[in-house]
Structure 1
């Protein structure tokens, strides 16, 4: 037996671990190689995709360039063809043969339109789009007057939910500015507002330019209004690039229908004019208004032009005024209303959530009035603003149904009037400063006492035969004894301001009334409507209870005169302090000055890129007026008399 003990030889545990680690390392190396191969393949695929995308982009650019070249060639050929056709027509006229009609065109249909298989030229398309948006949207509880705006006007804005002109600010497109209006069965939705509507965007694109409006400034006969932004126009009219396109397509010129070969004279009281036509053009003469005239083809003595605006004067009447732009003030939203202070020193502009007060002489911003206690979410358009006669206070009416009275010097709210159940569209101060009147989509006019800080009268419109008498505009007479209101049911109504008793119910408009204003004599009332007209009314006698009476020949009816010439909704009207002129703003983006004695328009002004929602006249006697538009701008203009000419 050996002295040593022998054990069997077996591999130690350490060697086994090393073998397992080697196996794991080999597997890991294999996975790393696989990952590297996959990564390389991925990079190759991504490189190929990038190369293909770049090739596709280059291909698109080439297509666009080819398309641009094709369009340029097409335009060149069209111009050359038009030139050759004109030469041919002239040669035929000289030879005594009438020129043939252009290829593919049919005869005139009698209203200046032709049945052509080809689409209208670009400068005519915006006007046609506007004609499809003539009816305002319904304004009822919960509706947003500015909401549909200026999508077009923005334009896209024809679907806004409030009265035209009161549209919401544009989010793109030709926005007309847009707010909300009382629901109306007779008012189909417009485009913001806005109206706007659709509101108009700041770029002047389509939006809603419908009318929110502010009440007349103290001491001035101008009235307040309510309008939308097309959807940004808060709803609005399609964007137009050139001056001529802003004014609508030029009307076809016409040959004379008079016995001497010249154009027949317009009927008395008609402010129409006849566009000049080429000598070789045949056919009867067609009278057209200033809004129909191509501004690029008018005599120099008929036109005044600024950097981004122009005015066309009526060749059928004596020229008494000259107009000029003094200040243009940009805002971040649709300008729903503008108003001057009684001394003419300040101008207020109501926008989204804030009211801005400017020095009229310098256009410097004096202060911003904004209620910080209001929820920050969503829009809150200031539809109407109005200074107190002493200039210390500013009343604002908004979509939250409240009337705020601001102490301007302290930038604080003095008090709030509550009671309306829908948006407030219009405000007006009495000249003695004791009373303020408001109009709302809840179909009421309310009279508030500034001294007692409470409601004096709530005047509901309860006519059974009217489907939607939502109130769009209110105005107080210069003697502070009457209050007038325009409404969606096409009516203008007048009440005794002290008793609330009804005095007048004026019928004649064919669509909603968006603005009312008293003339300085206090016996004449002016109204603007979605039927594209302005009417001047003479107030009549009542039963004597109010002690207010005006003589008139009732056999002729209350309407003294109707002014026609705008191409779209009349959203705002005002009167100059001397009573010599009536001023109107329209969704056709134009402002017109009218002579109330003759019914003739003095001039038509184009300068805004969207609906003119509000116009206001300085009551101080200085010849200034202001405009607010769905293009997010407020402008201050002068309308001084021509030298050596008396109004």
Structure 2
């Protein structure tokens, strides 16, 4: 995917607490009147810091728990369904860590893969029962690993370019993949067959519509995919029919995530913004819209709308995640920052800084308030967030 931007910004570019604090002042309080600002709007530690938005009530606290050192860029992070483990993908290996202790539990590497050059694992995803880990790589293959045996159970072939995204259905029966070959595929875990969802769209802004991110809805009925042509597309799983195009981003869409109730979809883009889309109309009574899009009609009323824009990052948004309770949206960016957003208002609660390179990937635990990040600085990090009211202490 030639238009994928480099994950390595200028190594001499630095953020300071003061710089980020003044950024918040400018973004959220242009008149510089801060009567409601908390006495301590920042939390600073030797290798990371958080700056809290002085214009909203601070209800969140964040602390770094583990720093996981890797031997290459960390392309992806993903929690297991029970939140006990974190998988990471980097050059040639997928690694699994205990989220409580930070200890590495196993390393998965395909020794049969060619040794020449790099082979980055671009996506990882646990099966819901935690027995298997799916990995998607630059060699166009999806490998299904038996974690206990550290062996490959299945290899799914079919994509013509690198695989950038994987997501299991909640029942574990299906896995969706997104690739630079302009397709998403829905794979049957039992027999390995796939249904191809092709971006062959006359309305596409250009010919470069590689799929950068794909997600399956909680009810298993919809697949959403973000692509380089700025559009988010949604398909019906049962029929493979295109049911919606979401337009509004001004640059490539790099990440998509459904809300836990399946009624919303969050997208992150190289235009430096996130968007929240109301897709509830696709859950019921969506057949008319489905038929219209599939037949190329453009005169039907659009059922899905962008209801919120999340503005605050200063560079590409590379990854987004939604908390298990739907209260928070988290994003990672080429600006090296991670932002916690209030999902109901699109207000920033806080910004984390600490990675020394782009934050390529973020994930939130399905069971608790735990955040994982992966970066071009060869590190993954695990943080805990607390949503009880915060007492501002001089030690913050």
TM-score by length of structure 1 reads 0.55
Paired residue for 2:334? 587
Partners of 1:513 and 1:530 within 8 A in 2: yes
Secondary structure of residue in 2 paired with 1:361 = coil
Paired residue for 1:185? none
In structure 2, relative to structure 1, the CA distance for the partners of 1:300 and 1:610 (3 Å cut) is: farther
Paired residue for 1:429? 168
Secondary structure of residue in 2 paired with 1:316 = coil
Paired residue for 2:178? 439
| Equivalent residue for 1:541, pick from 277, 281, 284 | 281
Q: Does 2:271 correspond to 1:498?
A: no
After superposition, what is the alpha-carbon deviation per residue over 1:120-140, rounded to whole angstroms, capped at 9, x for unaligned? xxxxxxxxxxxxxxxxxxx3x
Q: Provide the C-alpha distance between the structure 2 equivalents of 1:342 and 1:441, rounded to a whole number of angstroms.
A: 27
| Equivalent residue for 1:475, pick from 215, 225, 237 | 215
Q: Provide the C-alpha distance between the structure 2 equivalents of 1:559 and 1:608, rounded to a whole number of angstroms.
A: 31
After superposition, what is the alpha-carbon deviation per residue over 1:336-391, rounded to whole angstroms, capped at 9, x for unaligned? 00000000000001000001100001111100000000111100000000000000
Q: Does 2:268 correspond to 1:558?
A: no
In structure 2, relative to structure 1, the CA distance for the partners of 1:481 and 1:381 (3 Å cut) is: same
How far apart are residue 501 of structure 1 and its match? 1.0
Partners of 1:402 and 1:418 within 8 A in 2: yes
Partners of 2:24 and 2:53 within 8 A in 1: no
How far apart are residue 307 of structure 1 and its match? 1.9
Paired residue for 2:124? 385
How far apart are residue 555 of structure 1 and its match? 8.4
How far apart are residue 451 of structure 1 and its match? 1.5
In structure 2, relative to structure 1, the CA distance for the partners of 1:495 and 1:584 (3 Å cut) is: same
Q: Provide the C-alpha distance between the structure 1 equivalents of 2:371 and 2:281, rounded to a whole number of angstroms.
A: 33
Paired residue for 1:89? none
Secondary structure of residue in 2 paired with 1:615 = strand
Secondary structure of residue in 1 paired with 2:111 = coil
Paired residue for 1:568? 315
Q: Does 2:54 correspond to 1:315?
A: yes
Q: Structure 1: which 5+ runs fail to align?
A: 1-138, 140-160, 165-194, 196-208, 210-232, 255-270, 277-284, 288-297, 549-553
How far apart are residue 498 of structure 1 and its match? 1.6
| Equivalent residue for 1:465, pick from 190, 203, 223 | 203
Partners of 1:490 and 1:510 within 8 A in 2: yes
Q: Structure 2: which 5+ runs fail to align?
A: 291-300, 392-396
Q: Which has the higher contact order (CA 8 A, sep 6+)?
A: 2
Higher helix share: 1
Q: Highest Rg: 1 or 2?
A: 1
Paired residue for 1:633? 379
Aligned length, in residue pairs: 375
Secondary structure of residue in 2 paired with 1:639 = strand
Paired residue for 1:597? 344
Mapping of 1:10-25 within 5 angstroms? none
In structure 2, relative to structure 1, the CA distance for the partners of 1:481 and 1:253 (3 Å cut) is: closer
| Equivalent residue for 1:619, pick from 345, 360, 366 | 366
In structure 2, relative to structure 1, the CA distance for the partners of 1:501 and 1:376 (3 Å cut) is: same
Q: Does 2:93 correspond to 1:354?
A: yes
Q: Provide the C-alpha distance between the structure 1 equivalents of 2:24 and 2:124, rounded to a whole number of angstroms.
A: 42
Q: Does 2:118 correspond to 1:365?
A: no
| Equivalent residue for 1:606, pick from 340, 344, 353 | 353
In structure 2, relative to structure 1, the CA distance for the partners of 1:380 and 1:598 (3 Å cut) is: same
Higher strand share: 2
How far apart are residue 545 of structure 1 and its match? 3.8
After superposition, what is the alpha-carbon deviation per residue over 1:295-341, rounded to whole angstroms, capped at 9, x for unaligned? xxx97510011221111111111111110000001111000000000
Q: Does 2:179 correspond to 1:338?
A: no
Secondary structure of residue in 1 paired with 2:171 = coil
After superposition, what is the alpha-carbon deviation per residue over 1:148-183, rounded to whole angstroms, capped at 9, x for unaligned? xxxxxxxxxxxxx4423xxxxxxxxxxxxxxxxxxx
Secondary structure of residue in 1 paired with 2:40 = helix
Secondary structure of residue in 1 paired with 2:61 = coil
How far apart are residue 273 of structure 1 and its match? 2.7
Partners of 2:268 and 2:319 within 8 A in 1: yes
After superposition, what is the alpha-carbon deviation per residue over 1:429-467, rounded to whole angstroms, capped at 9, x for unaligned? 000000000000000011100012222x11110112322
TM-score by length of structure 2 reads 0.89
How far apart are residue 605 of structure 1 and its match? 0.7
How far apart are residue 248 of structure 1 and its match? 6.6
After superposition, what is the alpha-carbon deviation per residue over 1:612-633, rounded to whole angstroms, capped at 9, x for unaligned? 000000001x210100000000
Secondary structure of residue in 2 paired with 1:431 = coil
How far apart are residue 404 of structure 1 and its match? 0.2
Q: Does 2:79 correspond to 1:238?
A: no
